[in-house]
Chains A and B, each alone.
Chain A
């Protein structure tokens, strides 16, 4: 009964989405306030309905209702409750429901925080989001219904893939989807602007916080996924250039470009057409990402059973959304206008350079990800693109981008002078260069890449310091702290996000340059030393988990005779899916991680064992979190809120030209 309620709620939501996707947009076109005002209640109603469906599915999982096909396929009676609930998004159908649910959350957020927008704009934004949601609901109801019944009911479920039975599963997909779907708001803003034909600085200021919010979620989501892969997959890597990872990384690159381009549109009224295109691109890539990962086109831990009907639906949906918005773009973009002019040496030009480089990087990832798929689809043979491709392409593309990142914030808008910039930054550059060249010797090993990485990180930090100093010296304040506090939060957000990049680069450089890994056979009582740490293997013990049996290895770690820690990696066997899983043991620290995972049992109680010493690896994720924090700080800037209040009071004070009600 409960699953049928969920199913019914989805059908109702579909009906509401039809209304939301048509009437407000039509109303905005003909100027009918009555039609436009449908958008808000429709969006909220849709949220309630999808929430209901989501809860129904959650209930089916919690109550172990194996007469629901999806529940039977992705959970098991022995699976703990929190993983049963996380199994809602453990496979294709539920992921789509989560996607739609998050879309309705963003819709409600738009209805709550967009009261200051012109009515037509708001109606169009919600209308576009309604259309997107219509596509997803239709997809679910026609070919991937999570509420489909299994008659007769299964005695027990097939269990969640053991790889997914992890706290990472609880957090990573919702975060990632918050990011993906969040770009739908930026997309809806862009489409609304194209439909309305007016795109000004105010438009950019409105859509900036939304874009930044989505970007923050995506950043955290990707970082969580990377951290999860690091400890769960058992081979200690944090990024594999796997197509699935690339699918989430491409919208991130587009989103990062969009954030910077929006800054120009907001502050200088420039890059308008480009900004709109980026907004379309970011969301299109989010859609492609969702579908690539969840449709089984890509084979990896994320992919599930394929169904040709689904593939066709997906292709049609993508064609409509991407093709339609690009057509609209081609038709309406000339009306939007290019925006103000600027000199070749100016902050705008540098931001443009950053955008070009980010998009080039995006293109190279897209090529490496999709080319093998195309070849395969055309029957031209199977190939794969190795991670070295991405590494060789990324370093030269990102190096100039990061160099610009140091200069950009110091350059003047419209027209800057190179000699002046060189003067202001000569110390920053000199200090970074010397330190980057010498520091690796102190650390014990010099390679060009280590120096380059350190140079880029130091360059970001030193230019940031110069920038803050200059900003403060321009302020007339009493104390240093009051000066620092006087700088706007958006500025601090940028500083923090850029420093996050620096921290990230340090992490990547140190791990790539100095990590030590060893695969070896260890007998009980044997020791092995890597990176100054001595690991002693004390044998394995059998333990029993809720739905698995495990061999738990015991390692005692010492450094120079002092105890450091004990580590317990596990080899688990999940009986339902008859699958073996490696659970690595990790001792994390600010400056290094120790990582032990068990290979296979060998004769005489010995095991093959993998030992890693990974310096600074946590800086990689720490850097990502700091980037996201920077985004949050930037969003909380007063100027967005002030602008809201001002526009709101303005809207209330002056009667609308057509005498329509406002709000």
Chain B
């Protein structure tokens, strides 16, 4: 082969490898996107069934209940408009507290309970996960918020 042809073959091979990689990546990407929904959206039924997604909001005060095994917990995530019951089995993160923001990832069960596989709560006491803050802000903007005010700005 002439150097010129060689270069073309090389470029062709490179492009093929890239196309393959891109196909692979995009496929994996598509199936691993985790969407975020607010409790209002969950209550309205705008969420996918049989697929994992995230919800976020405030953990309602006084809603945390622990089962006898010490690991399974029930709590309610709210955006002050709608409430979603959540079940989680495992150890909650350090910063998980009633009356604070939290984000949970999992699937919606048939009875409307959100079965979380992961609960995220990060940062210091003032910090609100942006998704949770967003959910609260949206609900507030929709006019569902009563006269109660909430400080939702981080820091």
Contacts and interface: CB of A to CB of B under 8 A. Distances in A.
Contacts of B7: 341
Given A381-B35, A382-B36, A384-B36, A579 B94 contact: yes
Interface in A270-306: 299-301, 305
Interface stretch (B26-34, B106-114, B143-151): B26-34
Given A383-B33, A602-B70, A610-B91, A161 B28 contact: no
B71 A234 contact: no
A360 B34 contact: no
Interface string B7-29: 10110011001100110110011
Given A368-B29, A382-B131, A600-B92, A577 B125 contact: yes
A360 B91 contact: no
Contact of A385 (B14, B29, B91): B29
Chain B interface residue bracket vs A: 35 or more
A299 to B, nearest CB: 6
A344 B9 contact: yes
A341 B6 contact: yes
Contact of B10 (A305, A344, A389): A344
B85 interface: no
B28 A389 contact: yes
A388 B30 CA distance: 11
Interface stretch (A141-149, A391-399, A444-452, A536-544): A391-399
B14 A356 contact: yes
A393 B22 CA distance: 10
Contacts of B71: 519-521, 608
Contact of B134 (A344, A352, A382): A382
Given A368-B29, A393-B24, A578 B10 contact: no
A46 B131 CA distance: 43
B122 A299 contact: yes
Contacts of B52: 386
Contact of B94 (A341, A344, A353, A582): A582
B129 interface: yes
Given A581-B94, A608-B91, A349 B32 contact: no
Mostly helix, strand, loop or mixed at chain A's interface? mixed
B123 interface: yes
Interface in B87-125: 89-92, 94-95, 122-125
Contacts of B95: 579-580
A606 interface: yes
A65 B69 CA distance: 49
Given A341-B3, A579-B95, A599-B92, A383 B125 contact: no
Contact of A386 (B9, B34, B89, B122): B34
A581 B36 CA distance: 27
A597 to B, nearest CB: 8
A470 interface: no
Nearest to A360: B21
B29 A599 contact: no
Q: Output the residue of B32, B34, B35, B125 with the most chain A CB within 10 A.
A: B32
A385 B33 contact: yes
B155 interface: yes
Given A344-B9, A360-B18, A521-B71, A301 B122 contact: yes
B46 to A, nearest CB: 12
Contacts of A520: 70-71
Contacts of B155: 305
B108 to A, nearest CB: 17
B49 interface: no
Given A367-B29, A393-B28, A579-B124, A600 B91 contact: yes
A169 B104 CA distance: 29
B66 interface: yes
B70 A343 contact: no
A5 B100 CA distance: 42
A363 interface: yes
Contacts of B9: 344
B17 A396 contact: no
A386 B70 CA distance: 28
Contacts of A521: 69-71
Nearest to B7: A341
Contacts of B31: 389
B94 A602 contact: no
A356 B122 contact: no
A597 B94 CA distance: 11
Nearest to B128: A299
Contacts of B89: 519
Contacts of A581: 94
B124 A384 contact: no
B90 A392 contact: no
A11 to B, nearest CB: 29
A392 B31 CA distance: 10
Nearest to B135: A382
Given A299-B122, A360-B17, A392-B28, A519 B33 contact: no
Contacts of B124: 161, 577-579
A364 interface: yes
Contacts of A383: 33-36
A577 B17 CA distance: 51
Contacts of B21: 357, 360, 363-364, 397
A578 B36 contact: no
Contacts of B130: 299, 382
Interface string A379-421: 0011111101100110011000000000000000000000000
A300 B154 CA distance: 12
A300 B18 contact: no
Nearest to B68: A521
Given A383-B33, A385-B33, A364 B90 contact: no
Nearest to A603: B70
Interface in A47-77: none
Contacts of A397: 21, 24
A600 B154 CA distance: 26
Contacts of A580: 94-95
Interface of B: 3, 6-7, 9-10, 13-14, 17-18, 21-22, 24-25, 28-29, 31-36, 52, 54, 66, 69-71, 89-92, 94-95, 122-125, 129-131, 134, 154-155
Given A367-B25, A384-B34, A397-B24, 16 more contacts: A234-B94, A343-B6, A360-B18, A364-B21, A368-B29, A371-B29, A382-B130, A386-B52, A389-B31, A393-B28, A579-B94, A579-B125, A580-B94, A581-B94, A599-B91, A599-B92
5 contacts: A352-B14, A388-B28, A519-B89, A521-B70, A579-B94
